[in-house]
Amino acid sequence: MIGTALVGTGHLVRLALRRDRILLPIWIFFLVFTTLSTTTALEQVYGTQESRALLGVTANANSAFLAMLGPLHDWSSLGGLVVWRWGVFAGLFVAIMALLVVTRHTRAEEEAGRTELIAATVVGRHAPLAASVIVAGGASLLIGVLQAVVLIGKGLDASGSFAFGLSTASVGLVFTGVSALTAQLSENSRVSNAIAGGFLGVTYLFRAAGDAAGESGPQWLTWFSPIGWTEHVRSFADNRFWVLGISLAATVLLVGVSAYVVTRRDVGLGLLATRLGPAHGRIGTPFGLAWRLQKGSLIGWSLALFVVGMIYGSVAQAVGQMVEDNPTLGQIVSKIGGADAMIDAFFATITQLLGLITSIYLVQAVLRLRSEETSFRAEPLLATPVSRWGWVASHAVFALVGGAIVLAFAGLGLGLVHGVQTGDVGTVLPKMLGAALVQLPAAWVVAGVALLLFGLFPQFTGVSWAVVSASLVITLLGPALQLDQWVLDIAPFTHVPKYPDIVAGPLLWLSGVAVVLVAAGFAGFRRRDLTT
């Protein structure tokens, strides 16, 4: 039976590779190239044993670093530094790649009705799923192997290089499995991606919360995260290959369950059934429609960032604890202003991170405009008295105002928990709210670029994601890689004042830049043709 169920898989793999002939090489190049450039940069900056040792002490004592990047297990070698600086991000990126690829070739195809076309030919029931798993899993493995080859080429230890490369690949494999399963649940590929992406976010946070306070914190949480598992491999330090067995087992289990679900449902339908809805509608304005389309995402992001804020807020106290627990660390920290300064630095990093994450929400809200246009759903609306600007504004407001709401929830989460722990909600809460909201102008600039692209160069609206990635990579990795200042200055988040020293100047001119970008986007869309 399995034999016939997989008939045609080879053809579908070729079809998928053909459709992804541009996308996949970009992902692979991006990840392997970043591995190489990170290694080269770290080699230059931390060439000496002393500089690495100093980094080792500070990295493992700085909870902002710990939360974002995880612990630095081995600072005696360049490889250990690469794993620390890049490992978590490589895992995140490869996971995103895998889940997008799987959904694109399973649920999105089914939703578009193309699976029906394929299923009517000589193709086994499991072939579409198998093909997408092979492509996404294969790409993950290829990235892992190429990463190892690049590191060996830089003269690093071979088994450490492979431990790291396979760790990265393992995250891709697990999320291949995760999205194989989420693709079965909903009839909507957007929902499928959202569930898989949400799972990625939550497990990243488990890891972050588990790592943030070092040994004083809840380290066991990291065992509940596929990215956490890669940390436990301790590449270059101990090379514990056996941990990868967990990832492999999880992948096999997830793919197996998905394959079982495939046999239990009809083509085109999900496990979550669709019910009948109201016969009469209450929506009567473009904004009403945009609210209906965007509210799920806004509420989801707000809640998610509220929870993220609470998690980081709860870790802040342990950051102070960590300093008190460790006398040598205490001495170092007292030079920079003591435990309080360390907590401030922690919040400065965390709020920046929250701002960067929120910019993803903003761009996604803007890009809804483009997907409405290309799916011909904008056309009937714009054939009514709804004006071009009115329609754009109805969605843009979710990016511009919605972004403020999401950030406010993040600040609320931070402030509430940290306030309760320090026993002073009254002063802490407004401070944290402010620290989160100052990120908004920078996020507006990123959203503004997306709107500008939509208005003037609709075919290139997708480049917005490259802008988001560049802003993330430059902001998060740039300083440690000692990139030139002008490169850092490209990223809007570089200019956001660091908590607790908030000044208005940069916020005003960032807002000004955002206004110009948004206005250009509006003006461009008013003047252009609708295109697909």
The residue ranges that bind other proteins (CB under 8 A) are: 111, 187-188, 274, 276-286, 288-289, 292-293, 375-377, 379-388, 527-530
Q: Which residues contact 184 (CB under 8 A, 6 or more apart)?
A: 107, 258, 261, 262, 265, 270, 271
Rounded to a whole number of angstroms, the minimum distance from the CB of residue 183 to other proteins is 15
Tell me the one-letter amino acid at 395: H
Closest C-alpha among 390, 483, 494, 481 to residue 445: 494
Contact 518, 445 (CB under 8 A): no
Q: Which residue, 22 or 273, has its beta carbon nearer to other proteins?
A: 273
Please state, in angstroms and rounded to a whole number, the distance separating the CA atoms of residues 148 and 157. 10
Q: Which residue, 22 or 276, has its beta carbon nearer to other proteins?
A: 276
Rounded to a whole number of angstroms, the minimum distance from the CB of residue 329 to other proteins is 53
Q: Which residue, 92 or 386, has its beta carbon nearer to other proteins?
A: 386
Rounded to a whole number of angstroms, the minimum distance from the CB of residue 43 to other proteins is 47
Rounded to a whole number of angstroms, the minimum distance from the CB of residue 109 to other proteins is 14
Give the Å distances, CA to CA, from 84 to 9, 33, 183: 38, 17, 32
Q: Which residue, 334 or 375, has its beta carbon nearer to other proteins?
A: 375
Rounded to a whole number of angstroms, the minimum distance from the CB of residue 139 to other proteins is 29
Rounded to a whole number of angstroms, the minimum distance from the CB of residue 342 to other proteins is 47
Rounded to a whole number of angstroms, the minimum distance from the CB of residue 261 to other proteins is 19
Q: Which residue, 288 or 337, has its beta carbon nearer to other proteins?
A: 288
Token pair 């990120």 is found at 439
Rounded to a whole number of angstroms, the minimum distance from the CB of residue 282 to other proteins is 8
Helix H, strand E, coil C: the string for 437-503 is HCCHHHHHHHHHHHHHHHHHCHHHCCHHHHHHHHHHHHHHHCCCCCCCHHHHHHCHHHHCCCCCCCC
Q: Which residue, 240 or 377, has its beta carbon nearer to other proteins?
A: 377
Please state, in angstroms and rounded to a whole number, the distance separating the CA atoms of residues 477 and 41. 10
Please state, in angstroms and rounded to a whole number, the distance separating the CA atoms of residues 148 and 467. 28
Give the Å distances, CA to CA, from 276 to 179, 280, 283, 291, 372: 27, 12, 17, 21, 23
Rounded to a whole number of angstroms, the minimum distance from the CB of residue 387 to other proteins is 5
Please state, in angstroms and rounded to a whole number, the distance separating the CA atoms of residues 447 and 169. 31
Rounded to a whole number of angstroms, the minimum distance from the CB of residue 111 to other proteins is 8
Tell me the one-letter amino acid at 419: G
Q: Which residue, 249 or 269, has its beta carbon nearer to other proteins?
A: 269
Q: Taking phi first (over 0 means left), then psi (-120 to 50 degrees means alpha), and beta for anything else, what does residue 116 get? A: alpha
Q: Which residue, 18 or 282, has its beta carbon nearer to other proteins?
A: 282
Closest C-alpha among 112, 122, 96 to residue 12: 122
Q: Which residue, 2 or 279, has its beta carbon nearer to other proteins?
A: 279
> Do you find a cis peptide bond into 497, omega within 30 degrees of 0?
no
Give the Å distances, CA to CA, from 224 to 160, 219, 306: 23, 10, 20
Rounded to a whole number of angstroms, the minimum distance from the CB of residue 81 to other proteins is 47
Q: Which residue, 126 or 368, has its beta carbon nearer to other proteins?
A: 368
Q: Which residue, 14 or 527, has its beta carbon nearer to other proteins?
A: 527
Q: Which residue, 278 or 426, has its beta carbon nearer to other proteins?
A: 278
Rounded to a whole number of angstroms, the minimum distance from the CB of residue 528 to other proteins is 8
DSSP string of 93-140, one letter each residue: HHHHHHHHHHHHHTHHHHHTTHHHHHHTSS--TTHHHHHHHHHHHHHH
Rounded to a whole number of angstroms, the minimum distance from the CB of residue 191 to other proteins is 9
Work out the end-to-end distance of the chain between its first and last CA atoms, rounded to an integer number of angstroms. Answer: 42
Q: Which residue, 285 or 427, has its beta carbon nearer to other proteins?
A: 285
Q: Which residue, 115 or 352, has its beta carbon nearer to other proteins?
A: 115
Rounded to a whole number of angstroms, the minimum distance from the CB of residue 527 to other proteins is 8
- Residue 414 parent element (H or E): helix 388-422
Contact 146, 29 (CB under 8 A): no
State both tokens at 103.
Answer: 């959904």
Relative orientation angle of helices 127-153 and 158-185, to the nearest 10 degrees: 160
Please state, in angstroms and rounded to a whole number, the distance separating the CA atoms of residues 182 and 187. 10
